[in-house]
Amino acid sequence: MDYIETQAKFIQDRIQSVERNMGEICRQFAGHTRKIARVRDMGDDIATAAINYAESEVLNKSLVMGLAYFADCMTLISDYGDVRVQLHDSKIVGKIAGYENYCKQFKEQVKDIYSAREKEMNKRRQLERIRESNPRNRQKIIQAETELVKATAEMSKFIHDLEEKAISFERQKLHDIKVILLDFIAIEIGYHVRAIETLSKTFHEVSSINEQTDTEEFKKNLLLSNTIHRQAPVPGTSLFNSAGTLGSLGAIFSSTHNKKTPGIPDLKQKSQCSKSEETLDSMKQPISDSEETENDSEDISENATSSEEKPSTSTKK
């Protein structure tokens, strides 16, 4: 009986170990599958960003072609990644997750051996009681012995079946783990081989981006824009009458370089005032000269008039 208990305990511990380890492997593979699914989605996002950049670029022609090839590459790799995720779900995570129910069923079968053992022990106790209480009743003793033999045979059958199931369970576990690992390796090899092929082709296409040509095109458009800007100035604006531009520049320089010191007058302001006074004086001088000229002309006209009047008066006399 001790042998039966030891054997059942060994099988039960083995099942619990497999259930625990397979559950941990299942969780890790499921997390890995979720991560590669996110990588697949990020590949689609990268392809979309590259396409948007290519559509907005108008100068770098070779860069546009390189971005288009790169976007196609990322889209194709994302498609491979989608197949990769589906295979992981079906062939890896799905198979490992099935071991949860498999182990539960096997643990229930192990419990049957305890029931058979308990039944066999009850029959044995019953036979002993009959022998002690009524040793001369051969009919009851024979009947109890028959029932005990049946219970013992049933328990032996349970033990044999349990041993066979334990061996089958171990063999199936080894086979499943081997197949799962090989499937995982084959899936990863297939994905990476196709990804390497796609990336190798795209590498040559992206290498064809002509930096010199695109730079020259940019320089040409830059010089052309400067020429057009110089030849077609905005009407009514110039360097000297653009009050907004010069005013903003004056505000910048006055705020950053010409900070006033409290209590000390601003020399620049004084110089500007002196220059304004000089300008006013220079404007006053022509005005005074013109006034003197007008006075002289009036005196000359008056003298001429008086000279004409004198002969007339002398004639009358």
Q: Is the pLDDT of residue 275 over 60?
A: no
Alpha-carbon distance of 312 to 317, in angstroms, equals: 9
- Separation in Å, CA 50 to CA 42, 43, 70, 73, 77: 12, 11, 7, 11, 14
Q: What is the pLDDT of residue 75?
A: 95
Which range has the top average pLDDT, 77-91, 95-109, 283-297?
77-91
* Cβ–Cβ < 8 Å for 66, 209: yes
pLDDT of res. 221? 86
Residue 151 CA from chain centroid, whole number: 67
Who wins on pLDDT, 50 or 267? Answer: 50
Of the candidates 154, 18, 58, 314, the one whose C-alpha atom is nearest the C-alpha of residue 162 is 154
Distances (CA, A) of 76 to 132, 151, 204: 85, 66, 16
Q: Which residue has the tokens 């000229």?
A: 293
Q: 193-202 long-range contacts, Cβ below 8 Å, gap at least 24?
A: 194/80, 195/77, 195/80, 198/73, 198/76, 198/77, 198/80, 199/73, 199/77, 201/73, 202/69, 202/70, 202/72, 202/73
The predicted structure's pLDDT at residue 228: 65
**How far is 27 from 46, CA to CA, in rounded Å?**
29
pTM over 0.75: no
**Residues 6+ positions from 68 with CB-CB distance below 8 Å:** 50, 51, 54
pLDDT at 233 over 90: no
Instruction: Select from 42, 92, 94, 50 the least CA-distant residue to 70.
Output: 50
Q: Mean of the pLDDT values across residues 138-165? A: 80
pLDDT digits (tens, 9 = 90+) for 200-223: 999 999 999 999 998 988 888 888
Q: Where are the alpha helices (DSSP H) in the chain?
A: 2-56, 61-87, 94-97, 99-133, 138-207, 211-231, 243-256, 267-316
pLDDT higher than threshold 70 for residue 282: no
When the candidates are 3.40.50.2300, 3.40.50.720, 1.20.1270.60, 1.10.390.10, the CATH number that belongs to 2-211 is 1.20.1270.60
Per-residue pLDDT at 179 exceeds 90: yes
Neighbouring residues of 26: CB distance < 8 A, sequence distance ≥ 6: 93, 96, 97, 99
Please report which confidence band the pLDDT of residue 316 belongs to, taking 50, 70 and 90 as the band edges: very low
Greatest mean pLDDT among 102-116, 187-201, 289-303? 187-201
264: left (phi over 0), alpha (psi -120 to 50) or beta: beta
